[in-house]
Structure 1
Amino acid sequence: MATLVHGFDWPDRLVVGTVGQPGSRTFYLQARTGKQMVSVALEKEQSAALAERIEEVLDELMVEDGNPFSVPALTPEGLVDNDPLEQPVEEQFRAGAMGLGWDPATAQIVIEAFPYVEIDADELAAEEIDVVELEPTEVMVVRIPVGTARAFAKRTREVVGAGRPICPLCRVPMDSDEHVCELPDGFR
Structure 2
Amino acid sequence: MARQVHIFRSPERFLAGTIGQPGEREFYLQVVDGRRVLSVSCEKQQVAVLADRLGTLITEVGKRFGAQVDPVAGADATAAMLSTPVDAEFRVGTMGLAWDGEGSQVIVELLAISEEEVGEDVVLEDREDGPDALRVFLSLAEAQQFADLAGRLVAAGRPPCPLCANPLDPEGHICPRLNGYHRGVLG
TM-score, normalised with respect to structure 1? 0.81
Identity, % of aligned pairs?
39
Moved more, 94-103 or 174-183: 174-183
Q: Partners of 2:174 and 2:112 in 1: how far apart? A: 38
Q: Is the 8 A contact 2:14 2:31 kept in 1?
A: yes
Q: 1:92 to 1:9 in 2, by over 3 A?
A: same
Distance in 1 separating the partners of 2:109 and 2:95: 5
Partner of 1:124: none
Q: Does 1:171 align with 2:171?
A: no
Residue 149 of structure 2 corresponds to residue 155 of structure 1: yes
What whole-Å deviation, never above 9, does each CA across 1:129-159 have from its counterpart, x for those lacking one?
Answer: xxx99521x2100000001111110001111
Question: In the alignment, which residue of structure 1 is the partner of 2:121?
Answer: none
Q: Is 1:113 the equivalent of 2:110?
A: yes
- Give the corresponding residue for 2:183: none
Give the residue type in structure 2 aligned to 1:118.
E
Per the TM alignment, residue 79 of structure 1 is displaced from its structure 2 partner at its CA by: 4.6
**1:70 shift after superposition:** 2.0
1:87 aligns to 2:84 (yes or no): yes
Give 2:7's aligned residue.
7
1:70 aligns with 2:68: yes
Q: Which residues of structure 1 form unaligned runs of 5+?
A: 120-131
> 1:3 touches 1:135 (CA, 8 Å); kept in 2?
yes
Unpaired runs of 5+ in structure 2?
117-126, 180-186
Q: Deviations over 1:90-138 (max 9, x none)?
A: 111001111111101111100011111136xxxxxxxxxxxx99521x2
Contact 1:81 1:151 survives alignment (8 Å): no
What value does the CA root-mean-square deviation take over the aligned residues?
2.2
CA contact (8 A) 2:58 2:140 kept: yes
In structure 1, give the amino acid aligned to 2:7: G
Distance 1:19 1:27 in 2: 7
Alpha-carbon distance between aligned partners in 1 of 2:128 and 2:82, rounded to the nearest angstrom: 33
Separation (CA, whole Å) in 1 of partners of 2:72 and 2:96: 27
Counterparts of 1:120-159 in structure 2, within 5 Å, are: 135-136=130-131, 138-159=132-153
The structure with more radius of gyration: 1
The aligned counterpart of 2:177 is 183
Whole-Å separation in 2 of the counterparts to 1:169 and 1:77: 39
Other structure's SS at 1:38 match: strand
